[in-house]
Structure 1
Amino acid sequence: MIKINKDDNNTYNFSLNTTSGNALFYSVGFSSEEEVRNVVSGLNMFDKQQYIFERKTYHRGNFLFNLNDKKGQLIGNSQLYGSEAGMENGIKNLKKRIAALNNSQNL
Structure 2
Amino acid sequence: MGKFVVRQTPTGIKFDLKAGNGQVILTSEVYTTKAACLNGVESVKKNAQEDARFEKLESKNGKPYFNLKATNGQVIGTSELYESVAARDNGIESVKKNAPDAEVVEE
Q: TM-score scaled to structure 1, two decimals?
A: 0.84
What is the rounded CA distance, in whole Å, between the counterparts of 1:91 and 1:2 in structure 2? 16
Flag the 1:68–1:100 CA change in 2: closer, same or farther, 3 A.
same
Residues 50 and 69, structure 1, Cα contact 8 Å, conserved in 2: no
- Alignment size in residue pairs: 102
Q: TM-score scaled to structure 2, two decimals?
A: 0.84
- Structure 2 partner of 1:79: 80
Matched letter for residue 70 of structure 2: D
What is the rounded CA distance, in whole Å, between the counterparts of 1:30 and 1:47 in structure 2? 20
- Structure 2 partner of 1:25: 26
Structure 1 residue runs of 4+, over 2 Å off?
A: 41-51
**Stretch of structure 1 that moved more, 43-52 or 70-79:** 43-52
Flag the 1:34–1:66 CA change in 2: closer, same or farther, 3 A.
same
Q: 1:4 aligns with which of 6, 15, 33?
A: 6
Q: Which runs of 5+ in 2 are unaligned?
A: none
Kindly, what percent of the aligned residue pairs are identical? Answer: 25
Flag the structure with larger Rg. 1
User: What's the RMSD between the two structures over aligned residues?
Assistant: 2.0
Matched letter for residue 27 of structure 2: Y
Give CA-to-partner distance per residue, 1:35-54, whole Å, 9 cap, x none: 00112133343467786111
2:62 partner SS: coil
Give CA-to-partner distance per residue, 1:19-42, whole Å, 9 cap, x none: 111111100111111100112133
Matched letter for residue 26 of structure 2: F
Question: Which of the pair has the greater relative contact order for Cα pairs under 8 Å at 6+ separation?
Answer: 2
- Structure 1 partner of 2:15: 14
2:100 partner SS: helix
